[in-house]
Structure 1
Amino acid sequence: MKGRKSAPVEAERPAKRCPPPPSWLPQHAKKEWKRAAKELHGRKLLADDVLATLESYCVAVGQVRECEELMATEGRIIKSDTGPKPHPAFRMQQAAMREGRLLAAELGLTPHRRGVKGGENEDDNGGWDSDLLS
């Protein structure tokens, strides 16, 4: 559904303590779990019904990092019988990035969803001349 998503709602039964990452998560995903779960727990948004979404988000972030490591080692362009072509991990990484971004928004982990405004000075026009914005 298009349009703005509603603001994250505080969980009715937030977890009393921040749960550890599931043992089956890959290393990069566990690292992201520790970061994201701590933030969600601190905002009282981490409840049992959110854990599966958080797991999926962490797996997606982990896949992005794994694909990046693979391409850093093997290169972004590979040789094939028909000539050079993008590494297969590139397409996998793009899909994981897309999925991770959507799940991050669903969890309220993006700056926009947290209500953080860009720029240090709200009066600043971001480098745009005020005459152009009129």
Structure 2
Amino acid sequence: MTRGLKPSTIIPGSSPVTGIPKTPSYLNKEAKAEWRRVAPILAIERKVLTDADLATLETYCVHYGALRMAEREIAANGLISAGKRNPAYGILKESSLLLVRCAGELGLTPSARSRASMNEYADDDEGFV
């Protein structure tokens, strides 16, 4: 059983985002900074962001902010305190996993970008033997 559509069978989205989307006000400082860094890359430079992708971008940024907060907590108080693991480690671990998942969906990882470029190359070669 396969999970989801293969990248080559996904139809490009409608409702493209043509400008830099407004940063959600409720994001923490680091999450807002990440939104401001990544949104222009996706919307303006690569032209791949659609209205349907904004929730994934938001989730990516939320977890980026949570990851940074957890890193600060661990740096300030240590990974282990009173013989117990700092609860921030669980936040760090979960946010890292979800961040990478969202980054892959948005094409922000090297492997996601290479899959996309391989699909474009395969599409360009159609009709050639």
Q: TM-score range by the shorter chain?
A: 0.7 to 0.9
TM-score normalized by structure 1? 0.74
Contact 1:10 1:44 survives alignment (8 Å): no
The separation in 1 between residues aligned to 2:6 and 2:104, in whole angstroms, is 9
The separation in 1 between residues aligned to 2:3 and 2:51, in whole angstroms, is 27
Q: Which runs of 5+ in 1 are unaligned?
A: 117-134
- Residue 90 of structure 2 aligns to a residue whose secondary structure is helix
**Cα displacement (A) at 1:5:** 4.8
TM-score normalized by structure 2? 0.77
The separation in 2 between residues aligned to 1:4 and 1:18, in whole angstroms, is 28
The separation in 1 between residues aligned to 2:92 and 2:28, in whole angstroms, is 16
Q: Which runs of 5+ in 2 are unaligned?
A: 116-129
Match of 1:78 in 2: 81
More helix by share: 2
Deviations 1:33-57 (A, max 9, x none): 1121111112111121111111011
Deviations 1:57-110 (A, max 9, x none): 10011111100011111111111xxxx121010011100101111111111111
Match of 2:22 in 1: 20
Identity %: 38
**Cα displacement (A) at 1:2:** 5.1
Q: Does structure 1 residue 6 correspond to structure 2 residue 7?
A: yes
Following TM superposition, the consecutive aligned residue runs of length 4 or more in structure 1 with deviations greater than 6 angstroms are: none
